[in-house]
């Protein structure tokens, strides 16, 4: 019985103190967007930028393979193929950017 009274007092006393609560912190929005369309545009812009950076890296890698081949036909072919596929990738990224921009401008009026 004594245990029940002690436990009850320990549970009730903190409620009776009326402790003041700390003010709730305000969280700043790290994204400058307030709607879903703006977030979608930011994600698309980030994704296409990353793809363009990767294509640029592949251009550099293909050029390095081509220049450092030393007459080895296999490395020359690999360098040319890498350059060709990097160019195709860059055209694909730019083409998808144009298509997405056209669709968004014609449907929502939003600019990328």
> In a structure prediction context, what are the per-residue pLDDT tens digits for the chain, which is 112 residues long?
777 777 776 776 665 555 566 677 787 777 777 888 888 888 888 898 898 899 889 999 999 998 998 888 999 999 999 999 999 989 998 998 899 889 888 888 766 5
Q: Does residue 40 fall inside a structural domain?
A: yes
Q: Does residue 28 fall inside a structural domain?
A: no
The total number of structural domains that make up the chain: 1
Q: Taking a C-beta distance cutoff of 8 angstroms, is the pair 60, 87 a contact? A: no
Kindly report the number of other CB atoms within 10 A of residue 62's CB atom.
Answer: 20
Q: Which pLDDT value is given to residue 4?
A: 76
Residue 96 is part of which domain span?
36-112
Its pTM stands at: 0.61
Q: Does residue 111 fall inside a structural domain?
A: yes
Q: Which pLDDT value is given to residue 110?
A: 67
Token pair 């009274």 is found at: 5
Q: Which pLDDT value is given to residue 77?
A: 93
- Helix ranges (H only) for 1-112 are 2-16, 36-67, 73-107
Rg (alpha carbons) of the chain, rounded to whole number: 30
Q: Does residue 5 fall inside a structural domain?
A: no
Q: Does residue 101 fall inside a structural domain?
A: yes
Q: Does residue 60 fall inside a structural domain?
A: yes
Q: Quote the Cα angle for 57-58-60, to 5°.
A: 65
Give the burial class of 96: count Cβ atoms within 10 A of its Cβ; 0-12 exposed, 13-18 middle, 19 or more buried. middle
Q: Which pLDDT value is given to residue 100?
A: 86
């Amino acid at each position: 019985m004594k245990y029940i009274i002690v436990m009850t007092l320990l549970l009730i006393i903190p409620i009776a103190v009326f402790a003041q609560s700390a003010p709730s912190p305000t969280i700043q929005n790290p994204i400058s967007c307030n709607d879903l369309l703006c977030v979608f545009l930011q994600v698309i812009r980030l994704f296409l930028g990353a793809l363009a950076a990767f294509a640029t890296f592949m251009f550099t890698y293909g050029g390095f393979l081509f220049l450092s081949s030393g007459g080895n036909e296999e490395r020359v072919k690999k360098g040319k193929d890498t350059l060709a596929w990097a160019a195709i990738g860059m055209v694909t990224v730019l083409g998808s950017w144009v298509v997405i921009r056209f669709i968004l401008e014609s449907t929502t009026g939003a600019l990328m």
